[in-house]
Structure 1
């Protein structure tokens, strides 16, 4: 999991151009990693001010992710975009019903499978995010970046108001690619286990 990632020259050049256009140097390390990868995935510098991140929250989620916390995706497109980790996605088995969308049912099924402490990556369905907020799921992190003109802004605002550890954005923008990119940023960022840090301090 912590094997050094080989970065393609095209990606290196893309990030060089991104940083030449937008100053992200003032951001804390994990926040910068998430913001830059989201901007890169969408070629949209406006995400620099649209995203809502918190460095201590990201640090805790980064540790949880690298010590085995399960990852849940709301749709297959999000799951397909996540590298280095298999994500749980139960949408294929979910059904809709009165007052319940397939995406909301899939969130219920996923929670029954993974329990508390998971990292949830929602990039498509506001109703999946709304259902998650009702589940008392005690997540390690919710990457809530659903896209759309109906329910997306409201569900992301509700996520922020819930007090759950989260990454979200203010506008209608979002989508599978940017949600997966936010998770990948945490996967790619180097992880130094606490016992390694302690050993360095005592050396």
Structure 2
């Protein structure tokens, strides 16, 4: 089913592309970069985001084949359209050496097991906890925001070698994390993916 795009969104993307040439990016990278920039009205994401097209292709296939989507907070879930998500923050508890966000990631992993797409837009400790698990993710969208631990947790994600979308700076947040996942959701499935 094709997604109906509102005229305001069409005009917003037209203006974005008039201010920033994204044509040199491969298709899925371009989709993620543009949707993240659109969500934050921040052109700097074009040079701040880090991802690999071949890993995005595999994640896109997994997503459209029904792989679970796990989020760290309800704000991320609220921004993801056209897909159910798993969020265990309401059930989580903080304790010695573990934040509530980290515990929620552990609970979610018990629910979904390996192969999920993880979308973390709020808590660096959630991303840190995910990196401790043997989650074998299809993709980690690691875009937590903040001055304490955000940039460091994203650097650790990149160093882990896991398939990921991250950024170098401290900025991020629920809206941009959801936008990155939506970019993959909205991007059409190729004929190759349909037959493989």
TM value normalised by structure 2: 0.98
Contact 2:68/2:117, CA 8 A, preserved across alignment: yes
Structure 2 residue 122 is matched with structure 1 residue 124: yes
CA distance in 1, matches of 2:137, 2:126: 14
Structure 1 residue 194, shift from structure 2 partner: 3.3
CA distance in 2, matches of 1:21, 1:10: 17
Distance 2:92 2:192 in 1: 39
- The 3-state SS of whatever aligns with 1:167 is strand
Pick aligned residue for 2:30 from 32, 43, 49: 32
Deviation at 1:98, TM superposition (A): 0.6
Give 5+ residue unaligned stretches, structure 2.
none
Distance 1:145 1:112 in 2: 22
1:65 to 63, 66, 69: 63
Counterpart residue number, 2:182: 184
- 2:115–2:135 Cα contact (<8 Å) kept: yes
CA distance in 2, matches of 1:43, 1:195: 32
Partner of 1:148: 146
Gaps of 5+ in 1: 199-203
CA contact (8 A) 2:72 2:119 kept: yes
Aligned with 2:59: secondary structure? helix
- Equivalent residue number for residue 80 of structure 2: 82
Q: What are the Cα deviations for residues 58-85 of structure 1, in whole angstroms up to 9, with x where unaligned?
A: 0000000000000000000001100010
State the 1:53 CA deviation: 1.2
Displacement after TM superposition at 1:197 (Å): 5.5
Residues 1:176 and 1:19: Cα distance change in structure 2 (over 3 Å) = same
Q: Give 1:106's match in structure 2, choosing from 104, 116, 127.
A: 104
**Partners in 1 of 2:157 and 2:103 — Cα distance?**
18
SS at 1:124 equivalent? coil
Per the alignment, residue 18 of structure 2 pairs with 20
Distance across 2 between alignment mates of 1:143 and 1:96: 23
Alpha-carbon shift at residue 136 of structure 1 (Å): 1.2
SS of corresponding position for 2:166: strand
The one-character-per-residue Cα deviations of 1:126-172 (angstroms, maximum 9, x if unpaired) are 00000000011100000000000000000000000000000000000
Q: SS at 1:99's partner residue? A: coil
Tell me, yes or no, if the aligned pair for 2:61 and 2:193 is still in contact at 8 Å. Answer: no
Q: How many residues align?
A: 196
Query: Normalization by structure 1: what TM-score?
Result: 0.95
